[in-house]
Structure 1
Amino acid sequence: MKNQIKTIAFDADDTLWENEPYFREAELEFARLFPNLPQDDVVKNLFDIEMKNLKMYGYGIKGFMLCMVETAANLSGDNVASNLINQIFEIGHKLLQKPVILLDGIEETLQHLHGKYRLVMATKGDLLDQERKLEKSGLAKYFHHIEVMSDKQPRHYQKLINHLDCKPEHFLMVGNSRKSDILPVLALNAFAIEVPFHTTWIHEIHEAPIEHPNFVSVSSIDQIIPLL
């Protein structure tokens, strides 16, 4: 990896700042709207609806809100009270106003790398929400380019690499999700560094070992610096 990397892309949610714990809290708050049903069953129903709608809604809070409404309709026999709808939107609106909490070592690492490499933020989610979080984070000044992707498949990374006029052997992706940040990049024979986060959305979990010469896993973001 040393002396090869020219462009470093960072995932945003749960790599630069906290995100998934907010969704977990929202899921439980949603489940409590149905006191007569087991919480695990409500959360499972919500996840199933999210997976069904993922190709239509994409990733982000707005799609999550729509999925909560649809789940509520299913669980209520399509007879959803207006106050329940209001409570669901309140959960979503609170998500959109959550504070942006940087993870340990992020800003110091970006400061160290800035000017030495072309830094990119490459993330999924809702465009307006990601722009809001980036502005609140104070990290925008470190990034040469911001890419909010509809998904993170190899073709999406290839499109990004082409846009940056970069080659895969000069591209490094840093992120917490093996499914979204690591495996698609390795499929292009680019480089990938995993920085695990303590909470992972079940859709993003990939437990099988990864054996690839371009893959490294570290326990904290600042550990990428000696690798470069």
Structure 2
Amino acid sequence: MKLIAFDADDTLWANEPNYIDVKLKLCELLSHYVSEETLSQQFYDSQIRNLAVFGYGAKSFMLSMIETAIELTNGAITGSEIQQIIDVGRKLLDFPIEVLDGVNEVLEILSKRFDLMVLTKGDLFDQESKIARSGLGHYFKHVEIISEKNEQAYERILQKYQIQPADFLMIGNSLKSDVLPVVHIGGRAIHIPYETTWAHEMVTDEQLTGKSFTTLSNVRELLGLLETVNEQV
């Protein structure tokens, strides 16, 4: 392998729990207007609708919260309540980074043997900030922050670094973003599930039929797996 890429959020550090916590606070703030079930569905619809305009990340999440609040209250929400939503959402921009267990150890070893890349999607400022706060940046030779992870995006990155798909390995927690697009272009992928997954990143069993990739229970298993691959080569 000439290049090993790691997803960032929920692969290198915990991310989704922070978003879940902020969403719960939004439900509390609007509980006297609508039920949690109604808000959750409307908020999800707003997020998906806004992806094409605002992309992924904390800022898009905050804008979708405000839009949802205005829609569900028919414009009755007060300026003070909107300020509370902004204050809650702003925490997503500077929360303490919780590096997942084993990540430092694995990156320390792999960075001495392979070229490593952080390959993540989302807001540029937001993702750069998280990489800096994580203290992991020195392990990676390359950092790529893109708006979407699909086949075309992966192909562009491989062309940029003059890497053949067969020489590329992607590691991440999302089957939709980190695994299937890479497999479709002939690359290799490793799925390391995280405890929670955003509904938008879910895939069906049919989408996985016939797809060849490896699933590990934790990042430490990477070392044994890659050692086995090297011995076979």
For Structure 1 versus Structure 2, the TM-score category normalised by the shorter chain is over 0.9
SS of the equivalent of 1:86 reads helix
Q: Does 1:65 align with 2:94?
A: no
**Alpha-carbon offset, residue 79 of structure 1:** 3.1
Q: Which residue of 2 aligns with 1:183?
A: 180
Contact 1:28 1:43 in 2 (8 A): no
Name the residue aligned to 1:219: 217
**C-alpha distance in 1, partners of 2:136/2:31?**
41
CA distance in 2, matches of 1:56, 1:96: 19
Runs of 4 or more above 2 Å deviation: 209-213
1:202-213 equivalences in 2 (<5 Å) = 202-208=199-205, 209-213=208-212
Name the structure 2 match of 1:115.
112
Sequence identity percentage: 40
Query: Separation in 1 of the partners of 2:58 and 2:137?
Result: 21
Pairs aligned (count): 223
Query: What per-residue deviation string (whole Å, max 9, x for no partner) do you get for residues 21-61 of structure 1?
Result: 00011111001111232212111111100111111110000
Contact 1:10–1:120 (Cα < 8 Å) also in 2: yes
Q: How does 1:1-228 map to 2 (within 5 A)?
A: 5-36=1-32, 37-208=34-205, 209-213=208-212, 215-228=213-226
Q: Do the aligned residues in 1 keep the contact of 2:5 with 2:116 (CA within 8 Å)?
A: yes
Cα distance in 1 for residues equivalent to 2:50 and 2:133: 29
Contact 2:180 2:211 in 1 (8 A): no
d(CA) in 2 for partners of 1:210, 1:83: 50
One-letter code aligned to 1:159: R
What stretches of structure 2 of length at least 5 have no aligned partner?
227-233
Change (3 A) 1:9 1:51: same
Secondary structure class of the residue paired with 2:120: strand
Mapped to 1, the partners of 2:131 and 2:10 lie a distance apart of 13
Structure with the higher helix share, 1 or 2: 2
**Does the Cα contact within 8 Å between 1:194 and 1:216 map onto a contact in 2?**
yes
TM-score by length of 2: 0.93
CA distance in 1 between counterparts of 2:42 and 2:211 reads 36
What is the CA–CA distance in structure 2 between the aligned matches of 1:118 and 1:7, rounded to whole Å?
A: 5
Q: Write the distance in 1 (CA, Å) between the matches of 2:43 and 2:106.
A: 37
Are the aligned partners of 1:168 and 1:190 in contact in 2 as well (CA < 8 Å)? Answer: yes
TM-superposition CA deviations, 1:79-111 (whole Å, max 9, x none): 331011101110111111211000011011111
Q: Give RMSD over aligned pairs.
A: 1.1
Distance 1:212 1:52 in 2: 29
**C-alpha separation between the residues in 2 aligned to 1:198 and 1:207?**
18
Distance in 2, matches of 1:29 and 1:160, equals: 38
- CA positional deviation for 1:212: 2.9
In terms of mean alpha carbon deviation, does 192-201 or 41-50 score higher? 41-50
- Name the amino acid aligned to 2:219: I
Whole-Å Cα distance in 1 between the matches of residues 97 and 116 of structure 2?
Answer: 20
TM-aligned CA deviation for residue 210 of structure 1: 4.7
Q: Is the 8 A contact 2:4 2:168 kept in 1?
A: yes
